[in-house]
Amino acid sequence: MSSDVQGKVLINGKAVDAASASISVFDIGFQRGYGCFETMRSYSGSPFRVDQHLDRLAASAANLRINIGSIDRVKGWCLKVAEPGDGIVRVFVTGGTDMKHLGTNNSIIVFMEPLPQMPDVFSLDLIEAPWHSDGRSSELSGAKTLSYGPNLAATITARSKGFDDAVLVGTGGAVLEGPTFSLGWVKDGQIFTPSLDSNILASVTRAAVVEVAVRLGFDVVEGSFVTKELLDADEVFALSTSRQVASVVRIASTTFERGPITASLRHGFLELVKAETG
């Protein structure tokens, strides 16, 4: 990751300079992707929905049988690194260095980066994702583990074809999510989004935007949808901590307008953030 960290890096709570922040090359998080992580956004020093993010982190760690100790301690570290203002707070939990006692002696690393440069509209390619659990639940369903290699590979493949990113599609044709974002779309004034039953990540942004949509009086339909339904949409949007609510203007060869409903969801989301983070 970048070295533009704002302030110090906390490793198990100990503050170190970014340039010298390091963990063991024997850590199983590094060697095998055994670990989990969270990304939250700080607005003027206040991370949005920090408790929801940390509940998800605790659930991910529990699924992996990694003991992260008190979640309040981790929350204290997140609030500390967020103090400088706006940025992306990252939390990584590694699997530790003990192959015989997996998940012990782990490191918890917390730091804040500046907000990334993001395009404000996205183009996406449809990429089949045979690795996605896509409704078949497993022990790691819904966990945000460090094993993001397949998701990154989908992004790289899409970028190599001139797109910004990918839409992951299950082997049965169901629209799932992006490699690092959730998806929603508008058709005839109704809002559609793949349901959590498809084992997509329980996105904090998606949950907040569903709340906003319901409050604004929209019908929100959560379910299982095939790509044709997505491509027939009037408006499509990507949802994540760093993207917030971003218009999708192309999927494969289908183009979409930046629409008024996406704009009102984005506005409503930003109002909610303002109300919750002060």
* 241 counts as binding ligand PLP under rule CB under 6 A: yes
Which 157-196 residues touch ligand PLP, going by CB under 6 A? 177, 180-182
122: three-class secondary structure by DSSP: strand
201 near ligand PLP, rule: CB under 6 A: yes
Which C-beta is closer to ligand PLP: that of 193 or that of 241? 241
Which residues, numbered 54-93, are part of the site for ligand PLP (CB under 6 A)?
none
Whose Cβ is closer to ligand PLP: residue 97's or residue 174's?
Answer: 174
Nearer to ligand PLP, 42 or 180 (CB): 180
Nearest to 149 by CA among 120, 118, 111, 180: 180
Q: How many CB atoms lie within 10 A of CB 149?
A: 10
Which helix H or strand E contains 236, and what residues bound it? strand 235-240
Among 24, 31, 39, 147, binds ligand PLP (CB under 6 A): 39
φ, ψ of residue 221 to 5 degrees: the values are -110, 115
Helix, strand, coil share of the chain (percent; to 5): 30, 30, 40
Among 203, 244, 247, 262, binds ligand PLP (CB under 6 A): 203
Contact between 256 and ligand PLP per CB under 6 A: no
Stretch binding ligand PLP (CB under 6 A), from 22-30, 199-207, 210-218, 269-277 = 199-207
- Which letter, b or e, does each residue of 47-73 get, where b requires 16 or more Cβ atoms within 10 Å of its Cβ? bbbbebbbebbbebbebbebebeeeee
Residue 113 interacts with ligand PLP (CB under 6 A): yes or no: no
Q: Tell me which of 110, 204, 233, 246 binds ligand PLP, using CB under 6 A.
A: 204
Q: Which range touches ligand PLP (CB under 6 A), out of 4-12, 72-80, 203-211, 220-228?
A: 203-211
Go through the chain and tell me how many residues it has.
278
Residue 234 φ/ψ, nearest 5 degrees = -85, -35
Applying CB under 6 A, which residues contact ligand PLP? 39, 177, 180-182, 200-201, 203-206, 239-241
